[in-house]
Structure 1
Amino acid sequence: MLVEIDEHGMLSHARVRHARSPQIERGKRAGAITGIVVHQTDADTSASSLNSYKRPKANGAHFLIDKDGTIYQTAAIYQRTNHVGPLKARCLIAGKCRPGDFKNVGAEGMHRIEMRKPPGERYPGNMEAIGIEMVGRARMPVGFKPSGKELEWSLERIRGEHGIFDTPTAAQNQSLSWLVSVLADSIKIGPTEVFRHPVVSSKNITEAQGANWKLSIPTP
């Protein structure tokens, strides 16, 4: 299903509420949109994320899906936002390279190597990807206690490593499926180019683990 997209990159549809925050936009894209990356906010409410997007030099994604399924567009899709982070090597999954090819380079070094490749041969980065955030918090397992070097870590680092993200609600997944479908149809994004955040970048592996963008979409 196609949706109307204005010259600024804002969707015109009754299901999408405009909540554009120019503070998270980083300028026009230099090339085509080739993928979608699905995130979770690590926050309990949409209000907390929407408010954070208004801060100077804030980071955020193009869309935010609340727990009740409400979709907010928070950035124009033709604008780049910082939401992906350093890229993992897609060639490792495809079997076209080996871990040894990235020995001792670290996450930033791997990202630099990947960014020398054309978009189709690597994961979509900030310049090519539309970001979709789903409201959801990473919570510490009951009874968890840090040990060893973790005792010196900040609480945020511990949560980033060991926290378990909320399972998206049914309403969120229905809205996610609709949004991915209309974006893919309208911008011509292939079905293999939609990813959970931890797939493309080194993030908490439970982020968006319950995200499902393949549900059937009722005909409007």
Structure 2
Amino acid sequence: MSAATQRFVEVGSSQTSDVANTRRAEVSVDPYVGENGYVQNAGFVHRSIAALEKGDMTGPVAIVLHRTEGASVEGAFSTARSGFGTHFYVDKDGTVYQAASLHKRTSHIGRIRSRCYEAGDCPVDEMETIRGFGWAPKRVYDHEKVKSYPARYPLNEDSVGIETVSRCIKNCGPEDKGVPEWEPATAEQIESIANIITILQSAYSIGDADVYEHDLISYKTEGEGAGLWAGSGNE
């Protein structure tokens, strides 16, 4: 081969970059809601249960706190597979499971109470109308659901639910006298619930006032959503 046609380059003696420059750098990425409606980068376990998703969600504009009324997360998943449950489940050790997309509504609230009636600030004629319903949750719900949030409490159609594995331990039945008593949430559950709420508040501009205890907005056992979150202190 002549010198004119010789094209190869000897590289054996070339100098490479310092090995320290080749080490992979760690990049910190905050939790976020992915295009599929599942929270990413938060350590949550994605356990999709198709039966939970009932159609598209508006917003969401609010968060509703629940207890499972059962002793295990697997029991809660069994109920979820029948179509009743919600987006997040928090086990006793703090493990967070996401079972439904945040783009989809789930059946977790039931029939809502009248917000203005509970607050005592309905117009006089509306107050009389609702009082005339008596014990008729469906009539109250039908009256309320045509309103826009926040004039009413949140509905399945525009809210995210968080279920905490915890059961009622005393005065749980309709015939029992006395205030129902629930298992307190564990420290790990309290931390995980606060983490979920922080992520959702950031993603959807949900305020502290938009986080609700289930039994205060719907016809559920007293205290079911109590003692799970103390607020972020931002409002």
Indicate whether the TM-score tops 0.5.
yes
Distance 1:158 1:62, change over 3 A: farther
Aligned residues: 200
Partner residue in 1 for 2:20: none
Aligned AA (1:191): D
Segments ≥4 residues shifted beyond 4 Å: 155-159
Partner residue in 2 for 1:196: 213
Tell me which structure has the larger Cα radius of gyration: 2
Q: Per-residue displacement from partner, 1:185-206 (whole Å, max 9, x unpaired)?
A: 1111121010000111011112
Match of 2:115 among 61, 82, 90: 90
Q: Structure 1 residue 101: deviation in Å? A: 3.2
The answer on whether the counterparts of 1:174 and 1:215 sit within 8 Å (CA) in structure 2 is no
The answer on whether the counterparts of 1:82 and 1:126 sit within 8 Å (CA) in structure 2 is yes
Match of 2:105 among 80, 87, 104: 80
Secondary structure, counterpart of 1:139 in structure 2: strand
Partner residue in 1 for 2:167: 137
Aligned AA (1:107): P
Aligned AA (2:152): R
Q: Structure 1 residue 164: deviation in Å? A: 2.3
Q: Structure 1 residue 3: deviation in Å? A: 2.8
2:48, 2:140 → 1: CA distance?
32
Secondary structure, counterpart of 1:36 in structure 2: strand
Partner residue in 2 for 1:120: 150
Partner residue in 1 for 2:25: none
Matched, 1:63 2:85: no
Q: Per-residue displacement from partner, 1:53-80 (whole Å, max 9, x unpaired)?
A: 224xx20010000111110001111101
Partner residue in 2 for 1:49: 76
Counting only pairs closer than 5 Å after superposition, residues 20-35 of structure 1 correspond to structure 2 as 20-29=48-57, 31-35=58-62
Aligned AA (2:113): K
2:81, 2:218 → 1: CA distance?
25
Q: Structure 1 residue 211: deviation in Å? A: 1.0
Partner residue in 2 for 1:101: 129
Matched, 1:165 2:182: yes
The answer on whether the counterparts of 1:180 and 1:213 sit within 8 Å (CA) in structure 2 is no
Q: Which of 97-106 and 122-131 deviates more? A: 97-106
Partner residue in 2 for 1:145: none
Over the matched positions of the two proteins, sequence identity in percent amounts to: 27
Aligned Cα root-mean-square deviation (Å) = 2.4
Partner residue in 2 for 1:146: none
Partner residue in 1 for 2:222: 205
Secondary structure, counterpart of 1:37 in structure 2: strand
Q: Structure 1 residue 93: deviation in Å? A: 4.1
Q: Which of 34-43 and 106-115 deviates more? A: 106-115
Match of 1:38 among 65, 74, 79: 65
Distance 1:23 1:212, change over 3 A: same
Of structures 1 and 2, the one scoring higher in RCO (CA 8 A, sep 6+) is: 1
Secondary structure, counterpart of 2:195 in structure 1: helix
1:9, 1:83 → 2: CA distance?
18
Secondary structure, counterpart of 2:94 in structure 1: coil
Provide the TM-score with structure 2 as the length reference: 0.77
Q: Structure 1 residue 27: deviation in Å? A: 1.3
Normalized per residue, which structure has more strand? 1
Q: Per-residue displacement from partner, 1:156-177 (whole Å, max 9, x unpaired)?
A: 6547x96422111111111111
Unaligned segments of structure 1, at least 5 residues: 142-154
Distance 1:158 1:63, change over 3 A: farther
